[in-house]
Structure 1
């Protein structure tokens, strides 16, 4: 998905608050789809009967709370991931851009991909712990990890530091087809709209983002499936962490055993839940960000009310927040 464009009428802290609030809201409200997706990829028993039945089985076996397993650490991961990703992107941009600060589309793709890789490497342990928390039972008598901190401590003690990076190389490999597909889809859609990207309407940008995400995530989904199996598998946990192809070692064996068990379609188990998540996630992200932004624009003295974007008469919308405050104190 494309990121939001920073509005100069908001401070950096306000932009950060809007982005974080939007991310946490959209992630929390779509968490059930993410949980079913990951459990389907890992191959736990609740998902053996298909996408829709997985919701029923999970609710009957673990209750409503099961649909939000791992959500807290997933939300905590959002801000550092985005911060590192954009910081790395601008660092690479400074190396790849011309003297006017511009980059060609391929160079922009490279900078974006490298930024995403850096953020993935740095925050990967949190993603691994999230997977472990999702695949374990909510039953206190059966669960292995009592929470986020306990999970970090126990995994470090029982499996060592490298366990936090299980599947990292698969994730980095998967980012290559993902980035390439995203770039190609955006280029194709640009040719269909037949206008410069900066002239696209919000609806067109939303459509482009959803279509690009759907194709790119579907293409790279087998890599994501293997990554989740590697993260979930533990030789010290009962049933190997619930992984359907346990025991296995490495990416190649995981691909082979998954194909043997399910056929080629097995590499896309959970993709239905993933595709169902794209539009509501993007929609919630956009609506929450805009609602939060409207609140700050009103607070900063640019608009007439919290409910719309109607400019306040006499206020120059090109001024920065501190300039508005100095000229028109409220």
Structure 2
């Protein structure tokens, strides 16, 4: 593959990833708000209402805060998701190409390494956006401190009151969450390969991998790989959300660091505390993963077709 084709391929992946990320967050944001509020609800935070379950939380937020409450933090979520998916697919495809040199195909370990590398790079780039998103989602009518008016005001206030390092609170569990993407993409690649191999053996005709898969296949593969990743890595999401909460009026964080958050959660809530909000998370992310991979694969196929026709 020539250098020009290599760069073209990487940017096609980045474009497909950006479009997929935008479609995903627009569909699922209200559930993301509910998930975040459940995650930080440890029984000791006074500025959050008590919700019984996901449906009651959605209804309560809609009734008391309106559409604005259901889409709190939407702008940093859109920006963060679009940038994250774009960079993720770009770095992921670039890593795969590098590891593929001199090999017929990548092993599961190299798929894992590619996904982990991409996830770590994205984490460093986007942590400030996820912190702002979390804080905007946690603003309720019960807040005593002056609420952030939006993305720009949040960043400006955080820099003024807490310093630039506050924008990287939750980075450590965020880096551990790299395993989420690694597990998801490894599962997706291996399941995709298994389906293609199975259908190739069943069919007597010659087909490419693309021709053997359809939209339903991409949706099922995306959902299955996402479910596996969520079950393994969800506790890291809870710890990150708790670390990213806005400090008290005195400027003291509710949790000082990752280890403090883990100890306090285990002490007061047990294992259940590490899986708070997982119902909303599953409802949000399993269908969203299906949408993401359906959009990604179809946009990527369209870009490949357009390039071949040039």
Interval of TM-score (by shorter of Structure 1 and Structure 2): 0.7 to 0.9
Q: Identify the match of residue 222 of structure 1 among 235, 243, 264.
A: 235
- For the Cα contact (< 8 Å) 1:34–1:277, is it kept in 2? yes
Cα separation, partners in 2 of 1:15 and 1:214, compared to 1, 3 Å? closer
Task: State the match for 2:25 in structure 1.
Answer: 27
Q: Identify the match of residue 170 of structure 1 among 169, 173, 180.
A: 173
Quote the RMSD (CA, aligned, Å): 3.8
In the comparison of the two structures, how many residue pairs are matched?
A: 288
- Which deviates more from structure 2 when the two are superposed, residues 75-84 or residues 114-123? 75-84
2:114 matched to 1:126? no
TM-score normalised over the length of structure 1 = 0.72
- Which deviates more from structure 2 when the two are superposed, residues 175-184 or residues 274-283? 175-184
- For the Cα contact (< 8 Å) 1:47–1:57, is it kept in 2? no
Task: State the match for 1:111 in structure 2.
Answer: 114
Classify the secondary structure of the residue corresponding to 1:45.
Answer: coil
Cα separation, partners in 2 of 1:273 and 1:203, compared to 1, 3 Å? same
Classify the secondary structure of the residue corresponding to 1:36.
Answer: helix
Task: State the match for 1:75 in structure 2.
Answer: 78
2:89 matched to 1:86? yes
1:4-83 pair list within 5 angstroms: 20-43=18-41, 45-83=48-86
Determine the C-alpha separation between the residues in 1 that align with 2:55 and 2:189.
Answer: 31
Classify the secondary structure of the residue corresponding to 2:267.
Answer: helix
Cα separation, partners in 2 of 1:237 and 1:90, compared to 1, 3 Å? farther
Structure showing greater radius of gyration is: 1
Which structure has the highest helix share of the two? 2
Cα deviation, residue 112, structure 1: 1.6
- Which deviates more from structure 2 when the two are superposed, residues 201-210 or residues 149-158? 201-210
2:172 matched to 1:159? no
1:159-198 pair list within 5 angstroms: 159-176=162-179, 179-180=182-183, 183=186, 187=190, 195=198, 198=209
Structure 1: state its 5+ residue gaps: 1-9, 241-245, 298-316, 324-330
Cα deviation, residue 134, structure 1: 1.0
Cα separation, partners in 2 of 1:119 and 1:101, compared to 1, 3 Å? farther
Task: State the match for 2:204 in structure 1.
Answer: none
Structure 2: state its 5+ residue gaps: 1-7, 42-46, 201-208
- Which deviates more from structure 2 when the two are superposed, residues 62-71 or residues 220-229? 62-71
